[in-house]
């Protein structure tokens, strides 16, 4: 059987969801038997490839760059999974939405008596005013809430998708 092409994408998140994915331990070997990892922060690949079967995305959309990467991932992937609370609800990154990006940057870099009072700007993608979950931009095929979702949950989800289990009952929730 031809191996399925799996990608994972890391937007605005803490990488905890990726850690949880690694936490599937020896079951990674089962996964590896079924998929080729074609793009991931865990692998050194620069460009998001053209044809992807499943992409798991961690993190909220917080900058124009995140947005562009998300759209590219959607265009080139058959199934898109929102992995973890940041991708599903905005979660921690979205806590700044109450005040907006500017107020947050000023508060963090200027108003807290830092050593060098300046907002880092050069070479960094500018922040969107609001940090938002994936489904506000693209169609999401599966939501896996959790902060982070348990390794078991992630494995069940991926394994289920790859083996074509019709009814994916994931025992996870916001904040799990």
Per CB under 8 A, the list member of 9, 80, 90, 156 interacting with another protein is: 90
Is residue 126 within the footprint of another protein (CB under 8 A)? no
Distance between CA 110 and CA 55 in Å, rounded? Answer: 38
Which residues, in sequence order, are bridge partners of residue 143?
Answer: 82
Positions in 100-119 near another protein (CB under 8 A): none
Peptide bond into 107 cis (omega under 30): no
Q: Which residue has tokens 């929730």?
A: 173
Is residue 136 within the footprint of another protein (CB under 8 A)? yes
Backbone angles phi, psi at 79, to 5 degrees: -120, 135
Q: What residues have CB less than 8 Å from 50, skipping those under 6 apart?
A: 76
Binding mask 1-40 for another protein (x = CB under 8 A): ----------------------------------------
Q: Count the residues of the shown chain that bind another protein, applying the rule CB under 8 A.
A: 32
Segment contacting another protein by CB under 8 A, of 49-57, 109-117, 119-127, 144-152 = 144-152
SS3 8: strand
Is residue 95 within the footprint of another protein (CB under 8 A)? yes
User: Minimum distance from CB of 7 to another protein (Å)?
Assistant: 19
CA terminus-to-terminus distance, the chain: 35
- Kind of pairing between the strands at 52-58 and 61-63: unpaired
Q: Which is nearer to another protein, 3 or 74 (CB)?
A: 74
Interface positions with another protein (CB under 8 A): 61, 67, 71, 82, 85, 88-92, 94-95, 97-99, 128, 130, 132-133, 135-138, 140, 143-145, 147, 170, 173-175
């Amino acid at each position: 059987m031809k191996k399925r092409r799996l990608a994972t994408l890391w937007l605005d998140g803490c990488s905890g969801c990726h850690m949880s994915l690694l936490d599937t331990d020896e079951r990674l070997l089962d996964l590896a038997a079924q998929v080729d990892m074609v793009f991931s922060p865990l692998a050194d690949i620069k460009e998001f490839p053209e044809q992807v079967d499943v992409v798991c995305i961690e993190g909220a959309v917080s900058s124009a760059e995140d947005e562009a990467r998300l759209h590219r991932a959607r265009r080139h992937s058959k199934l898109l999974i929102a992995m973890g609370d940041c991708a599903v609800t905005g979660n921690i990154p979205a806590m700044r939405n109450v005040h907006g990006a500017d107020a947050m940057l000023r508060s963090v870099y200027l108003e807290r008596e830092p050593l060098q009072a300046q907002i880092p700007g050069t070479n960094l993608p500018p922040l969107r005013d609001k940090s938002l979950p994936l489904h506000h931009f693209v169609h999401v095929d599966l939501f896996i809430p959790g902060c982070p979702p348990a390794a078991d949950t992630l494995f069940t989800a991926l394994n289920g998708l790859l083996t074509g289990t019709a009814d994916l009952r994931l025992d996870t929730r916001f904040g799990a």
